[in-house]
C-alpha cells in the first residue's frame, strides 16, 4: 500500500480530516499522571486509546520530546508504538539543512523511526529538501504559510508581484518527486488557503491552528474544497481537562472536531 492509498483508507474509515497533535508538555499533564517523561508516554497512550477512531492522523511535535534528550527520543518511539498502523503519523520536526545533513535527518525520522511524513523548512532550497524525498511512500510537508502571527514577517513579502509563500509552493512543484510534497498552511489564513488550493488542487496539506490558535473548521473546509488535508488540533483536545477524566473529555472534544472536519 502506498502513502496515497493509506491516506484514502484511513480518511474513508474515519470520515474526517482531524489530526491530533501530541504536543505533550510535562507541566500540563493532568491529575493522576506523574509529571515525568514516563508520564508523558502514559498520557499519550491514553489519549490515543480514547481518540483513535475519531481521527485520521497523529502529529508528534519533536520539540516537546527532544528537550529531554535520550529519554525524550525514547518517548517518541514508545508513543509511535501506540498509534495504530492504519493512521498517518506526522513527525513535526521542521528539519532542513545542507544535503548530507538533510539525508541524515530523513533517515532518522522517516526510516529508523518510521514516521509516514515529516515537516521541513524550504528556506535553503531544493538540494536541502530533496534528500527527504528519497524514501518511498513518505510525505514531506514544506512550511509555506504558517499559523503563527510572525508568519507575516517574511511569508507575505512580495517578490515579482506574488507573496513569498506562493513562490515556495510554485517553485517546489518543479522539484524531483514533487508528487510526494505537501505543504503546511495555517488555519488562520482561510482566504489564502483558497488561493493555494487553486494552485495545487491535489497536493496534501497539513493545516495547523484550529482550536487554541483560533482557526475556524468550517472556513477551512470551505477553503480546502475536495483536497486532501490533515487539520491539526492539539491543545484544545489533549488539554481539554486537567482532571482524571482527561481521556474521556479529550474523546468528547475530538468527536466534536471530527464531525466539524468530516469529509
pLDDT digit string (tens) for the chain, length 263 residues:
899 999 999 999 999 999 999 999 999 999 999 999 999 999 999 999 999 999 999 999 999 999 999 999 999 999 999 999 999 999 999 999 998 999 999 999 999 999 999 999 999 999 999 999 998 899 999 999 999 989 999 999 999 999 999 999 999 999 987 778 999 999 999 999 999 999 999 999 999 999 888 889 999 999 999 999 999 999 999 999 999 999 999 999 999 999 999 99
Residue 79's pLDDT is 98
d(CA 228, CA 4): 10
Residue 31's pLDDT is 94
Residue 146's pLDDT is 94
Give this prediction's pTM: 0.96
d(CA 101, CA 14): 37
| Residue numbers annotated as active site | 94
Residue 27's pLDDT is 96
What are the b/e assignments for 173-207, b being 16+ CB within 10 Å? eebeeeebbbbbbbbbbbebbeebbeebeebbbbb
What the chain holds in terms of domains, given with CATH numbers, is 3-260 (3.20.20.70)
Contact call for residues 90 and 141 (beta carbons, < 8 A): yes
d(CA 94, CA 60): 11
Contact call for residues 64 and 24 (beta carbons, < 8 A): yes
Residue 179's pLDDT is 73
Rg of the chain (C-alpha set)? 18
Contact call for residues 236 and 253 (beta carbons, < 8 A): yes
Max CA distance (Å), the chain: 56
Measured from the Cβ of residue 81, the count of other Cβ atoms closer than 10 Å reads 10
Give the pairing type, strands 229-233 and 205-207: parallel
Cell 489533549 belongs to 238
Please name which of 124, 128, 129 lies closest in space to residue 182, comparing C-alpha atoms: 129
Amino acid at each position: 500500500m502506498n502513502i496515497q492509498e493509506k491516506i484514502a483508507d484511513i480518511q474513508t474509515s474515519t470520515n474526517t480530516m482531524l489530526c491530533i497533535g501530541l504536543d505533550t508538555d510535562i507541566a500540563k499533564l493532568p491529575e493522576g499522571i506523574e509529571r515525568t517523561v514516563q508520564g508523558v508516554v502514559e498520557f499519550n497512550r491514553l489519549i490515543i486509546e480514547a481518540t483513535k477512531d475519531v481521527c485520521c492522523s497523529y502529529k508528534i511535535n519533536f520539540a516537546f520530546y527532544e528537550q529531554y534528550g535520550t529519554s525524550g527520543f525514547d518517548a517518541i518511539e514508545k508513543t509511535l508504538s501506540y498509534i495504530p498502523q492504519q493512521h498517518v503519523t506526522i513527525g513535526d520536526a521542521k528539519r532542513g539543512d545542507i544535503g548530507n545533513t538533510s539525508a541524515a535527518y530523513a533517515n532518522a525520522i522517516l526510516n529508523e523511526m518510521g514516521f509516514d511524513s515529516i515537516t521541513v523548512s524550504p528556506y535553503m532550497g531544493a538540494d536541502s529538501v530533496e534528500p527527504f524525498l528519497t524514501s518511498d511512500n513518505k510525505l514531506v510537508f514544506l512550511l509555506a504559510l504558517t499559523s503563527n502571527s510572525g508568519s507575516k514577517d517574511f511569508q507575505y513579502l512580495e517578490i515579482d508581484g506574488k507573496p513569498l509563500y506562493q513562490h515556495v509552493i510554485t517553485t517546489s512543484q518543479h522539484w524531483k518527486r514533487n508528487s510526494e510534497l505537501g505543504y503546511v498552511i495555517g488555519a488562520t489564513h482561510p482566504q489564502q488557503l483558497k488561493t493555494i488550493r487553486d494552485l495545487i488542487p491535489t497536493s496534501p496539506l497539513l493545516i495547523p491552528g484550529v482550536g487554541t490558535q483560533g482557526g475556524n473548521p468550517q472556513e477551512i473546509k470551505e477553503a480546502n474544497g475536495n483536497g486532501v488535508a490533515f487539520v491539526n488540533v492539539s491543545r484544545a483536545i489533549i488539554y481539554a481537562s486537567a482532571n482524571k477524566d482527561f481521556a474521556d473529555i479529550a474523546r468528547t472534544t475530538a468527536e466534536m472536531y471530527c464531525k466539524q472536519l468530516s469529509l
